[in-house]
Amino acid sequence: MWRKRAIGWLIISITGLLLLLGRLMQIQLIETETFSKHNINLLEESVKQRTQELVIDNGRGNFLDRSGAMLTHKKVAVLVLFPFLKKMEWEADQVSNISGIPVSTLKMAVEGAKKPFAYGEPEPYELTSSQMERINRLKIPGVFAIEKKFERSQVPAEQLIGLTGENSKELMKRYPNKELSEKTLIGVSGLEESFDEFLLPEGKSKLVYHVDGGGAPLFGINVRYVDPANPFYPVNIRTTLDKTLQQRVEELVDHYQIKKGGLVLLNIKDNSVLSLVSRPTINKNDPYNGAGMTNMMLKQQIMGSVFKTVVAAAAIDHNLDDPKRLFDCSKKINGKPELTYNYGMLDFTNSFARSCNRTFGELATELQKINPNLLEDYAEKLSLTGSVGWQGDIYHTNNFKQLSEEDKGRVFLSEDAKKDANFAAMTGIGQHEVRATPLAVANMMATIARGGEKEMVRAVSKIEYKNGTTMVNFQEQSLQGDNISPYTAMKLQRLLREVVLNPDGTGRWFKELPYAVAGKSGTAETGKYQDGKQLHNKWFAGYFPYDNPKYALVAVNLDVLDSEGGVNLLFADIVKMLYENDNGMQ
């Protein structure tokens, strides 16, 4: 009996040892880099237990403005202190004399440290280049003055540039053939997402030292600098934004309390984004949820009377703009008396300047009878209904889109709506099913200012290697499809200028600005209500200077009451600011 028991225990012991041996082989040999369902890299984790490090640069590519200034991050000269200093005597008084930080404060910071840190984080104490040089000359182990990359607390054009985050599942889905740490940051919105593959890190730059179980230096007090040492990576994405201008424009948008909406400012010469502001802002406490994640300037909006520009273009080409013809602007589109905006009898030009709904409802109906597709055709000619952001083949990527989140606009949703006279009339004033993005509206103004030539809008001009050489150039490109004629563009230019020059024009507030403005206003009913009152989208879209166009600007305030939330003061202040900036007055 005892013999059977002994054999049984022996079998159990051998089985246990075999299981233990198998587990050890799994850990030590087989699944060293992908242990358990969480895919834990055991080699990395074991190294982490024996090392402490300070990341200087996470290795992800950077976003620059058009002049090369960093947008999302900044490099700051900081004092780095390692926690092993608490176990040794070090010349804190000399560091204090150079940096201006009290000795007691330095020592207190080290005593409370469990890992290397930049003094003063999260708002680091900034050193001068002279202080950096003098501190490093002391050659105190565990004390370094270095340039470290910090994320800006306020990122300019945050919705355009976008956000990054950790998502191991999405990382594996996007890059199944790349060996990347599950902690690798990936772009989740905006340009960060569009350019994510180019921005992926080769590795981090960091200061590293090895420790024993008590946290003391394992190999003396030598600190190693670890760097991928690749002269080409990480790359820089050079945007077309002007950082200083962007910051000023954001201040103005907030000054005028735009809660939902924003603006787009284009450089007409190369059709690039100088500034883009979207509100609401991203919620820093919960960035991936809420309306702040949406770039309102890339989303289709109800545009109201701004669409009359399209109707005017079609009317000009089909000889419906006879200056002798008068329209009864004492009536609404449906023929009922117009009590609020009773303008009497107006010709085509004055109807456009004063934004008479009756005129453009009639014209849209007449155009529909000629051809139900005309309004859509002219919206396409003026770049309102397709994507306007830069797209094309680059590097090893086909049909790459800079603005992957951009909506397309529309005029009608169905064939039946095109053929309905009542729907056509409402479409003529930018209501019913008409939608366009503020970016596309800005591009329409730039197209008209250029004489009808429509181009793709660039938000990025190039991708640069780390050493400054060019990896990818985003050349100016025309938008496909038909254009309006130079003659039609010239007539539209005059109509848009008349909106400002006419004593009763909807843009008369801009007549005295230092730059001559041409443009079109819009107030669209949204179908939404607040306390029983209709909410509106308020627009002004234009370009300037009129005789030598440089800028196209669209400002829009979304879902506001008719009695509030105008954009005229915002538009005017930006025109003034640009004039002063261009003439060295700031």
Please give the Cα distance from 267 to 240 (Å, whole number).
Answer: 9
Distances (CA, A) of 150 to 72, 198, 205, 234: 9, 20, 13, 16
> In 51-119, where does DSSP find H-type helix?
92-99, 103-111
Residue 40: CB atoms within 10 Å:
15
Contacts 24+ apart (CB under 8 A), 257-260: 258/557, 258/565, 258/567, 258/570, 260/291, 260/296, 260/557, 260/558, 260/559
Q: Which of 94, 13, 92, 83 is nearest to 51 (CA)?
A: 83
Chain length of the chain:
586
Instruction: Please indicate whether residue 305 is annotated as part of the active site.
Output: yes
Is the separation of the CB atoms in 275 and 308 below 8 Å? no
Decide: residue 583, CB within 10 A, 0-12 exposed, 13-18 middle, 19+ buried. exposed
> In sequence order, what are the residues at sequence separation of 6 or more whose Cβ sits closer than 8 angstroms to the Cβ of residue 91?
138, 140
Please give the Cα distance from 511 to 520 (Å, whole number).
Answer: 13
Beta pairing partners, 64 = 70, 238
> In sequence order, what are the residues at sequence separation of 6 or more whose Cβ sits closer than 8 angstroms to the Cβ of residue 213?
none
Per DSSP, 482 falls in state -
Please give the Cα distance from 155 to 72 (Å, whole number).
Answer: 5
Which one from 278, 305, 404, 461 is the annotated catalytic residue?
Answer: 305
Is the separation of the CB atoms in 571 and 542 below 8 Å? yes
Q: Which of 262, 62, 241 is nearest to 164 (CA)?
A: 62
Please report the sign of the dihedral spanned by the C-alpha atoms of residue 142, residue 145, residue 151, residue 153: positive
- Over its C-alpha atoms, the chain yields an Rg (Å, rounded) of 31
Please give the Cα distance from 303 to 402 (Å, whole number).
Answer: 24
- Cis preceding linkage at 545, omega within 30: yes
DSSP 112-168: T-SS-EETTTTSPPPPPHHHHHHHHHT--TTEEEEEEEEE-SS-TTHHHH--EEE-H
Give strand ranges (E) for 188-271: 205-210, 224-226, 236-239, 261-267
Is the separation of the CB atoms in 141 and 232 below 8 Å? no
**Amino acid occupying residue 12:** I
Q: Terminus-to-terminus CA distance in the chain, angstroms?
A: 101
DSSP 417-448: HHT-HHHHHHHHTT-TT-BB-HHHHHHHHHHH
Please give the Cα distance from 513 to 507 (Å, whole number).
Answer: 11
- Please give the positions annotated as active site: 305
